[in-house]
Amino acid sequence: MMRLLFSALFLVLLSLGEAQPNRPHMVMCQDRNFPDCYHRHLYCPDSCPRNCEVDCDSCQPVCAPQSQPPVPSYSPPPPPVATPSPPPPLATPSPPPPPLATPSPPPPPVATPSPPPPPVATPSPPPPPVATPTPSPPPPPVATPTPSPPPPPVATASPPPPDSSEAAGGRRVRCRSRLYPSCYYREHQCPAACPHQCEVDCVTCSPVCDCNRPGAVCQDPRFIGADGITFYFHGKKDKDFCIVSDTNLHINAHFIGRRNENMGRDFTWVQSLGILFDNHQIFVGAKKTATWDNTVDRLELSFDGLPIYLAEEEGAKWQPNSAPGIMITRSRDTNSVVIEAEGNFQIKATVVPITAEDSRIHKYGITDEDCFTHLDLGFKFYSLSGEVNGVLGQTYARNYVSRVKMGVDMPVLGGRKEFSSSGLFSTDCAVARFKGTQSSSLINFQYANLKCASGLDGRGVVCRR
């Protein structure tokens, strides 16, 4: 009876062994360069159910060219299985019966292979002995740990594009005032009209050309007063005029220009400033030049009569030992500085030429001998009194009412005689108020706490207390 049972069991195992080879082998593409096919479960075709590989390009299983030899070598194994049968001598070792008791448990293992049809990976081990078993183990480790890390690197690669895109265009500027949290430190690009000379108007949170802000003096002198009204003051070439005069600040401007025979007046520009405050004097001017080159510095600076030498690099600073509250800083490598006296004023000065295009449009008649380098200026005042005067200064006065004729293309301010000065550091203009003291009536300055906003290329601003 035992012999019959053993024979039946043997036949069952033999039939399973013969049927198993016909089940197609599962294969996967292991090349990460084909993400659509990578680690996709595919099965060997009928022509080579146990010996194939994946063509990752077409994502199809194809018979392996070397699979033919292994097939014959694999078929012999069944005979070896037959060889154990001849040793029915197994019967001689009576002990095997107990193993037969253990074989009864194996049926469950046989049952386990059936559930893992998906992970047909388990049947794959049998072929490995014949065909390199090592490759099958590596796939699992590669599948689990490495695939998850690669995605993150892909995500990190995306940010660079924005950075590169931001590199193009004009100068980048930010709002530096914490009083405007919604705009503070937000980055903006200078408008095309002034790609290198602008700052952010924190009120409107938009970039504004330096020459379009209150306190600007640019071009054929175009002034923008504290009230935001734009006007022109032509003065006279080769003469000095008082543009700001208060108890502890006096600023004269030296005008250069060309005579316009058809207009009866001079074309003029501000060539230099003489700044007096406390007991100090600062000179800032544009050197005469025939051919303009922005890489060549044409700024001239002095403090109390002594020349100032600033390294030609953006951010270079100069500070006198006798007056630590004074700072001169390059805002660009050449031709542009910021002059600041703590608690008193800040002046941005940039040397610019009259270009051939400017001359053609406005009929300036500029020749190759002189490009009339001049200063574009921006003023901020921290302690003016209510009685301040001067071409620009009067617009900051307590009871100022604009005298310019509004509604015309070029509103011009007269008063050349009352603002005329005998020299760049003279305080003898008719409206002079300078005393050279460190005290000032800031308490009377009604514009100290104004908030002003202006649009691009606008003719005025709106100011609120």
% of the chain at pLDDT higher than 70 = 67
Q: Is the pLDDT of residue 401 over 80?
A: yes
Global pTM value = 0.59
Q: How far is CA 305 from CA 300, 342, 453, in A?
A: 12, 20, 38
* 463/446 Cα distance (integer angstroms): 12
Q: Is the pLDDT of residue 343 over 90?
A: yes
DSSP SS3 for 178: coil
Between these two residues, 294 and 449, which has the higher pLDDT value? Answer: 294
DSSP SS3 for 148: coil
Q: Which of 5-9, 116-120, 304-308, 375-379 has the lowest mean pLDDT?
A: 116-120
Q: Which of 48-57, 131-140, 219-228, 229-238 has the lowest mean pLDDT?
A: 131-140
Q: What pLDDT digit, counting tens, does each position of 283-327 carry?
A: 999 999 999 999 999 999 999 999 999 999 999 999 999 899 999
* 463/104 Cα distance (integer angstroms): 97
Residue boundaries of the structural domains of the chain: 24-146, 213-464
Find the mean pLDDT for residues 39-61. Answer: 84
State the amino acid at position 203 in one-letter form.
V
Task: Report the chain's mean pLDDT, rounded to a whole number.
Answer: 76
Q: What pLDDT digit, counting tens, does each position of 155-172 carry?
A: 433 333 333 333 346 789
Task: Provide the pLDDT for residue 211.
Answer: 92
Find the mean pLDDT for residues 100-119. Answer: 41
200 touches 185 (CB < 8 A) = no
Q: Would you give the distance in Å from CA 198 to the centre of its chain?
A: 17
Task: Provide the pLDDT for residue 454.
Answer: 44
Find the mean pLDDT for residues 381-410. Answer: 91
22 falls in which pLDDT band (50, 70, 90)? Answer: low
State the amino acid at position 347 in one-letter form.
I
Beta 206-209 vs 198-201: how paired, if at all?
Answer: antiparallel
Q: How far is CA 314 from CA 296, 328, 331, in A?
A: 14, 12, 5
Q: Which of 340-354, 406-420, 431-445 has the lowest mean pLDDT?
A: 431-445
Ramachandran assignment for 340, one of left (phi > 0), alpha (psi -120 to 50 degrees), beta (any other): beta
DSSP 8-state code for residue 458? -
Q: Is the pLDDT of residue 23 over 80?
A: no
377 falls in which pLDDT band (50, 70, 90)? Answer: very high
**What is the residue-wise DSSP string for 29-43?**
B--TT-TTTBT--EE
Task: Provide the pLDDT for residue 38.
Answer: 83
